[in-house]
Structure 1
Amino acid sequence: MKPMKTMRLAALSLALLGGAEAALASEVTITAQFRPSSTNMRFENTTPVSGFCGIWPSYPACSTQEGKSVELGIRYTKDTVSWDPDFRNRYYVAFPAERTVAVSSPDGSSRQLNFAFSSFSATLRNISGPGRIPNVGRHVEGGCNELQAAVGYSTGTNLWRILNPTAPTGCTTGSYSEDPGLPAVTAVQAFSVAYRLIAPNPLEMPAGLYTGEVNYTVGENGEIALGNNVTNLNTNSLKIKFELDVQHAFELQFPANSDKVILEPPGGWMRWLNGGPAPERLVRDLPFRITKTGPMSVFMECEYEVGRLCGIRNPRNNHTAALDIKMSLPGGLQLHNGQAVERHPIPTGRMQRLRVETATPVFNQPGALHFATAPGEAAAMVANPGDTYRGNVTVVFDALL
C-alpha cells in the first residue's frame, strides 16, 4: 500500500462587513469562519462591527452574538407628528420576516441558512419644527422594546430590540414630555441592525467557500418600511451577501514504513512450515490515527484488479490473488445511514467511493486498514513455495468527496 499523505482542509467562516453605498442600492456582506478544534465546533462571526456597537462597544447588548451590529448605509428625512394615531406618521420602522437563504460552493454543494433582524438603531437629528426628535422618550410601541433610550433635544441615538425576529411588526415611539400633534422634520442616519443568523451544520458541509444573498426593498412601504412622508432616501434596496468559508480539520498519521504491508497467516508461518495445513488466509492490519471534522469519501485504486477487488501478482507465473481490504474508523465517523465503520469493505474506484459522515468530530483517534487474502486464495498461493506476490494498492481518503 502506498503511504497516505497528511491532509488538512480549511474551515467554515461567516463574518459581517460594512455596507457599500450606491446611488440606489445599499450592500453589506456577512461572513463567518469555522476553525475546528477539540474545543470549538461553532462558526465564528468575523464581521467587523459598525453602527451602534461600533460606537458603544461596551454596551451590554453588544457583548452577545446577536448584538454585533452593522450599519446598512440607509439615510433619509422623515416628517413626523408626535403621538399621531397612525403609527406610520410618527418615527416608524418595520422589518421583514426571517428569510431562508441558499448558499452554495463552486463545486455545487448547497446548504440553507436562516437570517433575521434582531435589533435596530438609528441616530436622529432635528431639522425643523417644534417637536422633539421623535425617538427621544421611553415609550416604544408595536413590535419593539427599548434597549437604550435616546436622549437629547436635537440629536439622539436609539437602540430597540425586535421582539419577534421571525415575524416582526412595525415599531414606533413617543415622548411623555411632548404634547400630541407636534410636527418635526428629522434627518435619520447611522441606520444599523443586529441580526440572528442560523447557519447550517459545518460538520455536514464539504470544505469550500459558500456564498449567497438576500435582497430587501427599502422605502415608505418597502420590506424595510420607514412609514409615511419619507424624503431624501438615498437607497431603495438593500442587498445582504453571505460568505461561509468551510475549512475542515483533516489529518491522517500512519506508522513509519507503512508503504509495505507483509501478509502472513494469523499466528505466523510456523504451523504450515511444520507440516500443518495450508493457511486459510493471509492477513495484516495497518493502524493509523485520524483527525476529521467533516465528510469524506474513501476508495481504492489497484495496480491489479480482480473483479471488484485489488490483487497481488506472482511475477513468475502471473497468478493473481484477490485481496479483501476493509477499514475501521473511530465511532464519531459513520456511514451515511448512521452505521459504524467497522471492518467495512473499501470499494474500488472513485465512482464507487464510500461516503463517510462526521457524527462527532474526532481528533487523533485510532483507525485501521485490514488486509487479507480473499477466501481460497491463500491455499493457491502457498502451492508455489518460495514465490513472492506483489501489488500496489492506493487507499484514497478524499476530503473533497
Structure 2
Amino acid sequence: MVVASFDFIYEIETPEPLNMKNGIYRGSSTYSMGSLGSDLDIGDELLAIRDTSLTIDFELKVNHLFALEFPPGSETAILQPLGGWSQWTDYKKVPATLRKDQHFTVSGSTNFSVNLNCEYLMPDGRCGISNGVSTVPLDVAITMPGFLGRADLGFAEALNYPLTQSFTHVPRFSPKDGATFQRRSYLRFEVNGDPIKEMVTHPGTQYKGRVTVIFDADM
C-alpha cells in the first residue's frame, strides 16, 4: 500500500487575540510518524516510511481594527450660544457658553491616544482662538461611549473627557468590552464664562484658530 498524501484538520488555541499586539506570529510544531506509539499512527503493519517526522509551520496575522468616520464639513466648527444669539442681540446678555459638537463614529479593537496640536497654545495646554488682538481659551472634550480613558493614574469612561496639547500626559483609550464598532461619538468645542465677556468687547471681529485632533492607534 502506498499513501501518496493525506489531509488533516487542526484546532489551535491562542492567547486572546484582542489582547495581542498587531503583527505576524510564527511558530512550528513537530510530530513523529510511524506505527504504534507515534504521534501520527499510520498502522502497525508499516514496514518502511520515508519521513519519520512531520513539521508544521504556522503563520498567524493579528490586525486590529481602528476606524474613524467624520461627516462632510467637520473640518469647520462654528461656535454658537445655547439657544441662539437672541439674548445678546435683544438684551445684551452675555452668553454663558459658546459651543459646537462635531459628531463622528469610531470603531476599534486596540488602544489609542488622542492629543491636540494648537495654532494658539494657552499656558495650561488648552488651545485658544484669537481675533489678532486678544486670545481666549477653547475647551475641547471628547465623548466616546464604550471606551475607557486613562490619564496618569485614573480610568474613566470617555464622557466629555477633556483634551489638551501635551507631550507627557497624553490620554489613552481602550475599548471597554474588547472591541467596539460604529459607536456614535463627538468632539465638543466651547468657550465658557469670562472669556466670552472679553470677546464681546471686540464687536465686528472674528475669533478663530486651528485645532488638530490627533488619533494615534497602537497598530
**Shorter-normalised TM range:** 0.7 to 0.9
What SS does structure 1 have at the residue aligned with 2:196?
A: helix
What SS does structure 2 have at the residue aligned with 1:305?
A: coil
Q: Is the 8 A contact 2:108 2:180 kept in 1?
A: yes
1:99-110 equivalences in 2 (<5 Å): none
Letter aligned with residue 87 of structure 2: R
Superposed displacement of residue 398, structure 1: 3.2
Distance 1:351 1:190, change over 3 A: farther
1:349-383 Cα offsets, whole Å, 9 max, x none, are: 576443322325323x4211111125532222222
Question: Does 1:361 pair with 2:180?
Answer: yes
Q: Is the 8 A contact 1:294 1:361 kept in 2?
A: yes
Q: TM-score, normalised by structure 1?
A: 0.44
Stretches of 4+ aligned residues off by more than 6 angstroms: 225-230
Q: Is the 8 A contact 1:203 1:293 kept in 2?
A: no
| Counterpart residue number, 2:25 | 211
Greater gyration radius: 1
Q: TM-score, normalised by structure 2?
A: 0.74
Letter aligned with residue 300 of structure 1: L
How far apart, CA to CA, are the structure 2 residues paired with 1:230 and 1:361? 57
Letter aligned with residue 180 of structure 2: P
Superposed displacement of residue 274, structure 1: 3.8
| Counterpart residue number, 1:84 | none
How far apart, CA to CA, are the structure 2 residues paired with 1:214 and 1:338? 39
How far apart, CA to CA, are the structure 1 residues paired with 2:38 and 2:193? 68
Q: Is the 8 A contact 2:127 2:164 kept in 1?
A: no
Q: CA RMSD in A?
A: 3.6
Q: Is the 8 A contact 1:281 1:376 kept in 2?
A: no
Distance 1:215 1:375, change over 3 A: farther
1:2-401 equivalences in 2 (<5 Å): 125=1, 190=5, 192-204=7-19, 208-216=22-30, 218=32, 224=39, 232-234=49-51, 236=53, 238-246=55-63, 248=65, 250-254=67-71, 256-288=72-104, 290-295=105-110, 296-307=112-123, 308-315=125-132, 317=133, 319-330=134-145, 332-335=146-149, 339-349=156-166, 352-358=169-175, 359=177, 360-363=179-182, 365-373=183-191, 375-400=193-218
How far apart, CA to CA, are the structure 1 residues paired with 2:130 and 2:106? 34
Q: Is the 8 A contact 1:202 1:246 kept in 2?
A: no
How far apart, CA to CA, are the structure 2 residues paired with 1:400 and 1:309? 25
Unaligned runs of 5+ residues in structure 2 are: none
How far apart, CA to CA, are the structure 2 residues paired with 1:305 and 1:325? 13
Superposed displacement of residue 324, structure 1: 0.9
Superposed displacement of residue 298, structure 1: 2.1
What percentage of residue pairs aligned between the two structures are identical? 25
Q: Is the 8 A contact 2:17 2:62 kept in 1?
A: no
What SS does structure 1 have at the residue aligned with 2:159?
A: coil
How far apart, CA to CA, are the structure 1 residues paired with 2:161 and 2:20? 23
Superposed displacement of residue 304, structure 1: 1.4
Superposed displacement of residue 348, structure 1: 2.1
Letter aligned with residue 379 of structure 1: K
Distance 1:300 1:238, change over 3 A: same
Q: Is the 8 A contact 1:325 1:369 kept in 2?
A: yes
Q: Number of paired residues?
A: 209
1:214-268 Cα offsets, whole Å, 9 max, x none, are: 3436468x994769998645255624222224252624132x3222212233223
How far apart, CA to CA, are the structure 1 residues paired with 2:47 and 2:211? 72
Distance 1:339 1:197, change over 3 A: farther
